[in-house]
Structure 1
Amino acid sequence: MRIWFQRRAGLAWLGMLLCLCTGLITRGQDLPPVTNGWALFSQVKYTQRFFKEYNEYFLVPFFDTRIQQYKNQEILLKGHYMPLDLEEKNVIVLSKFPYSACFFCGGAGPESVAEIHFRNKPPRFKTDEVLQVSGRLMLNADDVNHMNFILKDAELITP
């Protein structure tokens, strides 16, 4: 009787452990869809950090768990095309604001721009052309040669 009970208790513990692990693995899949990535990005806090290799201070994001849970999740962004000369032909920069008020020219914050990596080479866009894209969110806090918010495998959404 005792052995039977110990086996049952062991199976119960194993079942509870599997439920817990399954819950942790699927936690990110239960997130509500992000239809306005800019609202999510605006929740990020920044601090200044000195980078010796550039002899300059840069704003560095702190991605708390609320933001990190959206890493690798599909999000939507609607914004203005920024004409930057980038080496990769399937990469563009999208801004929440038009060119005259963007992060590079008008003093907006780093939360207002995103690096978009299209799955396929995109068509040519005009400056300030309003685009809507969908892609997997990547978060970058360390590489100052890239934006803090990056959409991978992005696709252009036609209105």
Structure 2
Amino acid sequence: MKRLTLLILLAFSLGLGATVKSPDLWALLSKTRFVEKLNREFGMYFLYPIFSDELKELEGKSVQVTGFYIPLDVSTSDCAVLSKFPNAECFFCGGAGPESIVVAYLKKKPTKRIKVDEIITIKGKLKLNDTDIDELNFILMDAEIID
């Protein structure tokens, strides 16, 4: 019994038991609520996000997300949009909400051509946008494709 206890303590001291799982970013994004408000500049109603406290704690921190690549503008290759869902079901084409897409501004252009619905992982600093209607709500800055 003492030997087992010693092995468990050794494993924890080596960090084997101290692995911290990264938060599921899609799950956190889905906690965002949206309210319809009049934008006086455009004279139209838009959905504005209300971010959860848990998500606000991640702002400015490095996060990663895996999703389906959605091309928006083929000439802008330093920008990538990821969706929780494939293209046919994404926010732009299907019935998903704005909490299911993330835009990433890449540090450097991808070395290979990324295909529609290719599953990729991107890491970057999370920026939350609740004011600029010309930008997505969830932004990864200084991002890089890691998979």
Instruction: State whether TM-score is above 0.5.
Output: yes
Cα offset for 1:88? Answer: 4.3
Matched residue, 1:39: 27
Q: Secondary structure at the match of 2:54?
A: helix
Cα offset for 1:35? Answer: 4.4
Map 1:2-151 to 2 at 5 A.
Answer: 34-85=22-73, 88-122=76-110, 123-151=112-140
Q: Work out the number of aligned pairs and report it.
A: 127
Question: Distance between the aligned counterparts of 1:113 and 1:90, measured in 2?
Answer: 17
Q: 1:34–1:74: 8 Å Cα contact kept in structure 2?
A: no
Q: Secondary structure at the match of 1:155?
A: strand
Q: Secondary structure at the match of 2:27?
A: helix
- TM-score, length-normalised on structure 2? 0.79
Percent identity, please. Answer: 40
Q: Secondary structure at the match of 1:40?
A: helix
Q: 2:28–2:54: 8 Å Cα contact kept in structure 1?
A: no
More helix per residue: 1 or 2?
1
List alignment gaps of at least 5 residues for structure 1.
1-31
Residues 95 and 79 of structure 1, relative CA distance in 2, 3 Å threshold: same
Cα offset for 1:121? Answer: 1.1
- TM-score, length-normalised on structure 1? 0.73
When Rg is computed on C-alpha atoms for both structures, the one with the higher figure is 1
Greater than 6 Å deviation, 4+ residue runs: none
Q: 2:31–2:52: 8 Å Cα contact kept in structure 1?
A: no
Cα offset for 1:56? Answer: 2.1
Cα offset for 1:86? Answer: 6.8
Q: Secondary structure at the match of 1:116?
A: strand
Post-superposition Cα deviations, 1:88-107, rounded to whole Å, max 9, x if no partner, equal 43111110000100000102
Question: Distance between the aligned counterparts of 1:110 and 1:34, measured in 2?
Answer: 22
Cα offset for 1:40? Answer: 1.1
Q: Secondary structure at the match of 2:88?
A: helix
Cα offset for 1:66? Answer: 2.4
